[in-house]
Chains A and B, each alone.
Chain A
Amino acid sequence: MPHVAIPSLLRNLTDGEESVTLPGTTIREVIDNLEHRYPGMKARLCEADRIKPGIAVYVNGILTRGAIRERIAEDAEIHFLPAIGGGMSEPLPHQDSELT
């Protein structure tokens, strides 16, 4: 099952748990399962049906392009990180092509 690293700023929702293993074949399913286990998580991560501006999703260390629709492998490692503002010379440029 995918392995999710809980960002330190969200650990108040997980009683301090730093990482969890959850079922899911897409980021959306993983977030739904996170919400089921830790109510309030989805509201921190999503806005309507997409990842919030300001949050980036990494799968196995690589920024996802498909965001919430991204398909993930069974042993994927997922990180929710602050999306970086401030320009292109940065590691987290595209986050969700539907933002516009």
Chain B
Amino acid sequence: MSEKKEYKVIGTRPIRHDGVDKVTGRALYGADFQIAGLLHGRVLRSPHAHARIVSIDTSRAEAYPGVKGIVTAQDLPDPADKVADLGEGAVNLKYLCDNILARDKVLYKGHAVAAVAATSPHIAEEACTLIDVAYEVLPPVLEVRQAMEPDAPLLHENLKTTSLGETADEPSNVASHLQYKKGAPEKGFAEADVVIEREFVTGTVHQGYIEPHNATALYNPDGHLTIWCSTQGAFTVREQVAEILQYPISKIKVVPMEIGGGFGGKISVYIKPVAALLAMKTGKPVKVLMNRTDVFEGTGPTPASYIRVKMGATKAGKVTAAEAYLAFEAGAYPGSPVGPGAMCIFAPYNIENVLIDGYDVVVNKPKTAPYRAPGATNAAFGSETILDELAERLEIDPLEIRLMNGAKEGDRRADGPIYPRIGYIETVEAAKQHPHYAAPNGKKHHGRGVASGFWFNIGLESSVTINVNVDGTINLVEGSTDIGGTRASIAMQAAEVLGIPAESVNPSVVDTNSVGYTAVTGGSRTTYATGYAAYEAAQDVKRQMIARAAKLWEVDEANVQFADGEFSCINGKEEQISFRDLCARLGETGGPVVGSGTVNPGGAGGAFATHVVDVEVDEETGKVEILRYTATQDAGKAIHPSYVEGQIQGGVVQGIGWALNEEYIYDAEGTMTNASFLDYRMPTCLDLPMIDTVIVEVPNPGHPYGVRGVGEVPIIPPPAAIANAIYDAVGIRMTELPMSPERLLKAIGTI
């Protein structure tokens, strides 16, 4: 593939197709949805972080005027110990069901216990207070190292540690252990002139999407169930609801509404099966909305973690060995992103000797959910801080040590795969050449830090249908929730194939009955995989249109060529017709043209990023001010550069929040004490400078236009980059996130 290919549509910046609806407030979100006879649902949540449910008495609530139905776990089919494949690997169905409505035990404060449907939200809320739940309160386990202790209270009596096919004999809070080993780490450390080892701790952090979860369910007497909701993937909602309710998938239709952010947090279902259960029980449509406290306490954040990293290097700066120990909190049920964290931690570097151990540990907090490059930000905080320290000890520029050890095509990652063409080195070079890196930064208490990050990206299934209109436009039907302008980036890839403007494509995100299977908008896959499907669907249209032109000119199809939106005859006839004009003649050449594309591509290509940040540290207050921020990232090929820049900036901002302020703060009983946006401090535009972006384009050989996913990797470097900048400013190595004013003042010794 040429790295300098010229495009007509790709690489331009058209106005997004959903832009007017979004800025005028016309776009319909789940909470906007209305239907005749609507009931309102409310979920009763556990006040305890760990307790056995002794009994649930709903009789007083049922008698309350306006209450139409109440459900508990007893209304769910018994999941036994079935394992389900829900498109996110093997899932223990009991865990999945118990997280929807607790059956035997509550495992975190906010765990759903029962739900009420009533004629108004207020009646439903009031009725929840009339449900009598008797609990036997148990001691909570709130921290990963505490949970790993042999005498720690057990969350699940039958949970035993698995280790690549082997299961331990005794129950434990450690759900699994994984390990990657490459080379001979001990020999590598023996060869090192400098070895540095540190421990790191990161807090529990929420995705902080602005729109709370919502779901409206309608159950028809013919057995068909429809769910309107906010989700990153309508098809995964359909699969999860079908499994949880043990209901035929063919009788469930999921309609994705517009989404107000997800960042990985709107893949797992919470209230959707509850709304469905209430609708089935009452025979009426039921809408369930979360408030912000419900979101913080009842949905999955990204895990807190304990990480130990050791790296060694020669005097010349060659990293000879690296070791990492990662223990991640899974929350109430197994399934933390310790695996991706372990696979990413040293991925930007070609290190000969590596040992990585990862532990997935249950604690009495909400079951964790994906959050933008799940696991990788925690991990990189450790490795990128240690690498910075190695550079300092060896008196090597921190970007230079990254260049010296950076991974390239043909290098093998510690977990096995060999890299195809990747662009890590190019991101470091872009950072090094940026004016930011050369700018003076010597003021007192000012510091500069750098860090890099890697994320796999994924492919998975996507389907697109294209209906050709007689006026030369096309209607593009897709199943990917539009987060961050993907209607535009998908439409542009079809437009490029057909030689038409992006504005001539009308993209629609439709329900599960109206398009082929499409996996979630997640894993930075949508512009890559659904864009790939759009490319294939457009190629299908092109083939059919060539046949129509051949029919029109009474020549063989092989004599028709298509370029730049024009069909022409190459057998001596001087015939030419534009895509638009040929569309007007579909009727006389055979009728409608419909193209389709379905893909399941395996070549998502990895994404790398390198960031540079300047900070100022106030030694009196502990406040860290971000003065300047530059992010370089390999996008493969930026389909719509504005939205790539937007993804990079959004990721950086979330990384800054994670670095400096955001964390769940728990009391000793396991109650989150800052479950509102007033107390859970996310950065706003007042806290930030303009985030400067540099798009590096090293085409991905696994995509026809070279696309790499861009959404996740920019969140990975900020905490480490900022920690390194703080060190540069005040000479203190921060090893715990967030690096809040209180922690910074303690580290400095002010308090």
Contact = CB atoms under 8 A, between A and B. Distances in A.
A53 B523 contact: no
Interface centre among A44, A53, A54 (most CB of B within 10 A): A54
A81 B416 contact: yes
Contacts of A53: 83, 89-90
Interface string A58-100: 1001110100000000000001111111111111111111011
A91 B456 contact: yes
Contacts of A7: 164, 179
A87 B165 contact: no
A91 B337 CA distance: 11
Interface stretch (B107-115, B128-136, B366-374): B366-374
Contact of B164 (A10, A58, A88, A100): A10
A90 B374 contact: yes
Contacts of A9: 163-164, 166, 177-179
Contacts of B368: 86
Interface string B495-538: 00000000000000000000000011011100000000000000
Contacts of B65: none
A67 B72 CA distance: 38
A55 interface: yes
B165 A86 contact: no
Interface string B334-372: 111111100100000000000100001000000011101
Contacts of B370: 86-90
Nearest to B233: A88
B458 A89 contact: yes
Given A79-B416, A82-B176, A88 B523 contact: yes
A61 B338 CA distance: 20
A92 B600 CA distance: 13
A27 interface: no
Nearest to A87: B370
Nearest to B263: A89
A46 to B, nearest CB: 8
A84 B374 CA distance: 11
Given A8-B181, A9-B179, A61-B416, A82 B164 contact: yes
Contacts of A65: 600
B83 A93 contact: no
A5 interface: yes
B523 to A, nearest CB: 4
Nearest to B177: A9
> Chain B CB within 10 Å — which of A53, A81, A86 has the most?
A86
Nearest to A85: B335
Contact of B87 (A52, A63, A93): A93
A95 to B, nearest CB: 6
B460 interface: yes
Contacts of B416: 5, 58, 61, 79, 81
A92 B89 contact: yes
Interface in A8-37: 8-10
B165 A45 contact: yes
Interface residues of B, number: 62
Contacts, number: 162
Nearest to B601: A62
A80 B91 CA distance: 19
B415 A81 contact: yes
B335 A86 contact: yes
Contacts of B243: 100
Contacts of B360: 85
Contacts of B165: 10, 43-45, 52, 54-55
Most buried by B among A44, A84, A91, A97: A84
A86 B176 contact: no
Contacts of A91: 340, 343, 456, 458, 523
Given A53-B90, A58-B417, A87 B374 contact: yes
A86 B164 contact: no
A56 to B, nearest CB: 8
A52 B163 CA distance: 12
B395 interface: no
A79 B417 contact: yes
| Residue from A5, A61, A82, A92 whose CB has the most chain B CB atoms within 10 Å | A82
A54 B88 contact: no
- The residue among B335, B524, B712 with the most chain A CB atoms within 10 A of its own CB is B335
Given A52-B165, A95-B85, A100-B85, A88 B339 contact: no
B447 interface: no
B375 interface: yes
A95 B89 contact: yes
Contacts of B600: 65
B202 interface: no
Given A62-B602, A82-B164, A99-B84, A88 B340 contact: no
Nearest to A41: B165
A34 to B, nearest CB: 12
B236 interface: yes
A5 to B, nearest CB: 6
Given A82-B178, A95-B85, 8 more contacts: A7-B179, A54-B165, A55-B164, A85-B336, A87-B369, A89-B372, A89-B523, A90-B370
Interface of B: 82-85, 87-91, 162-166, 176-181, 232-233, 236, 243, 264, 267-268, 330, 334-340, 343, 355, 360, 368-370, 372-375, 415-418, 420, 456, 458, 460, 519-520, 522-524, 600, 602-603, 712
Sorted nearest first, the 7 A-B pairs with minimum C-beta distance are: A87-B370, A53-B90, A84-B339, A44-B165, A8-B181, A85-B335, A61-B417
25 contacts: A7-B164, A8-B179, A8-B180, A9-B166, A44-B164, A54-B162, A54-B164, A55-B164, A63-B602, A79-B416, A82-B164, A82-B176, A84-B343, A85-B335, A86-B330, A86-B337, A86-B368, A88-B236, A89-B372, A90-B337, A91-B343, A93-B89, A94-B87, A99-B85, A99-B90
